[in-house]
């Protein structure tokens, strides 16, 4: 391995594991940090994720404190959460994810940034559930546009499957994340929900009552940002907006199939 890359990775690992605590506390802190990042979206309207983009989101991922260490060649790693939108406009319980990637540059040292990923389609989330999503390869990714006025002008141009944002020193900006990989953090899911059988799909379909209170806090913060937006429940596979509910088959988490009685339905199966 290139010596500079080895040094960068070593520094990254040291930063990630500094200050350990029990697993449950780590996951709760991760969710709390993600909620704090979302709250910042309301504070600078001209530097925020456009409401028109959020109104079309199938899923939203927040990865706080992504560490980037570089010595000529660099590495990026962080852990966060992802939620998906139900067809009634509500948001699911969070599942835990990890983001990793390399970088090339002449920075020496390390920095921490917060990353937000807005998924317009189900395709990217399916990739994460099935093992790994490589941004730019498995799903198209673009640096997200900023500001409410920009959203009005570029609304019809939202063509990428994933839009990415970073926050450093309080300001949000679009960021290029081609080549970064997103995977499920199954150990964190098991620790947070106290069950090794909690697959991502079961998490998305489960009742809010099974999650610790901090998960509800995150969902409430996101809901506050999207509840008044025009609802577009359902995107086709290529990202085109649905015109009517009857014209698109929407994947629904947590709702029984037609003809299924209450006795037969178990949202965790």
Range of the domain at 84: 3-247
Q: Classify residue 42: in a domain, yes or no.
A: yes
Cβ contacts of 76-79, under 8 Å, gap ≥ 24: 76/12, 76/100, 76/101, 76/102, 76/103, 76/180, 77/12, 77/16, 77/101, 78/115, 79/30, 79/185, 79/188
Q: What is the pLDDT of residue 228?
A: 55
What's the pTM value of the predicted model, to 2 decimals? 0.73
Inside any domain, residue 266: no
The answer to whether position 259 is within a domain reads no
The residue that leads in pLDDT, 106 or 252, is 106
DSSP result, 101-124: EEEEEEEEEEEEEEEEEEE-SHHH
259 Cβ contact list (under 8 Å, min separation 6)? none
Q: What share of the chain is helix, strand, coil (3-state, %, to 5)?
A: 35, 30, 35
What is the model's pLDDT at position 238?
39
Closest among 251, 249, 255 to 206, alpha carbons compared = 255
Contact yes or no for 223/40 (Cβ under 8 A): no
Q: Which of 59, 61, 41 is nearest to 51 (CA)?
A: 41
Separation between Cα atoms, residue 95 and residue 231, nearest integer Å: 23
- Give SS3 for 2: coil
pLDDT in tens, 125-172: 999 998 899 998 898 888 887 776 554 444 445 678 999 888 876 667
Enter the tokens of residue 5: 């890359």
Residue 268 lies in a domain: no
The set of long-range contacts for 14-21, using a CB threshold of 8 Å and a minimum separation of 24, is 15/67, 15/69, 15/110, 16/67, 16/77
Confidence at residue 242, expressed as pLDDT on a 0 to 100 scale: 39
Other C-beta atoms closer than 10 Å to the C-beta of 246 total 7
Does residue 126 lie in a domain region?
yes
Whether pLDDT at 258 is above 50: no
Tokens of 213: 């209170």
Residue 48: pLDDT above 80? no
How many separate domains does the chain show? 1
Domain-located, residue 225: yes
pLDDT at position 95 is 97
Question: DSSP secondary-structure letter at 247?
Answer: G
Average pLDDT, the chain: 74
DSSP string over 108-172: EEEEEEEEEEEE-SHHHHHHHHTT-EEBTTTB-EEEPP-SHHHHHHHGGG--SSEEEEEEETTEE
List all residues 6 or more positions away from 244 whose beta carbon is below 8 Å from its beta carbon. none
């Amino acid at each position: 391995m290139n010596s500079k890359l080895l040094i960068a990775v070593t520094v990254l690992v040291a930063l990630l594991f500094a200050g350990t605590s029990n697993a449950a506390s780590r996951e709760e802190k991760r969710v709390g940090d993600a909620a704090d990042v979302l709250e910042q979206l309301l504070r600078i309207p001209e530097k925020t994720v456009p409401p028109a983009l959020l109104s079309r989101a199938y899923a939203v991922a927040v990865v706080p404190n992504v560490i980037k260490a570089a010595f000529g060649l660099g590495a990026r790693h962080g852990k966060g959460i992802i939620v998906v939108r139900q067809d009634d406009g509500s948001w699911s319980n969070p599942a835990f994810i990890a983001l990793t990637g390399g970088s090339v540059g002449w920075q020496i040292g390390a920095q921490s940034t917060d990353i937000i990923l807005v998924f317009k389609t189900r395709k990217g989330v399916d990739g994460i559930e099935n093992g790994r999503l490589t941004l730019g390869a498995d799903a198209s990714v673009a640096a997200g546009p900023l500001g409410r006025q920009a959203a009005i002008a570029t609304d019809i141009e939202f063509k990428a499957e994933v839009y990415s944002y970073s926050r450093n020193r309080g300001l949000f900006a679009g960021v290029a994340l081609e080549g970064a990989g997103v995977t499920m953090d199954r150990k964190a899911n098991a620790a947070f929900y106290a069950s090794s059988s909690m697959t991502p799909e079961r998490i998305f379909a489960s009742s809010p009552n099974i999650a610790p209170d901090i998960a509800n806090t995150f969902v409430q913060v996101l809901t506050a940002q999207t509840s008044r937006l025009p609802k577009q429940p359902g995107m086709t596979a290529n990202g085109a907006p649905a015109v009517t509910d009857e014209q698109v088959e929407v994947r629904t988490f947590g709702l029984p199939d037609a003809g299924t009685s209450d006795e037969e339905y178990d949202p965790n199966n």
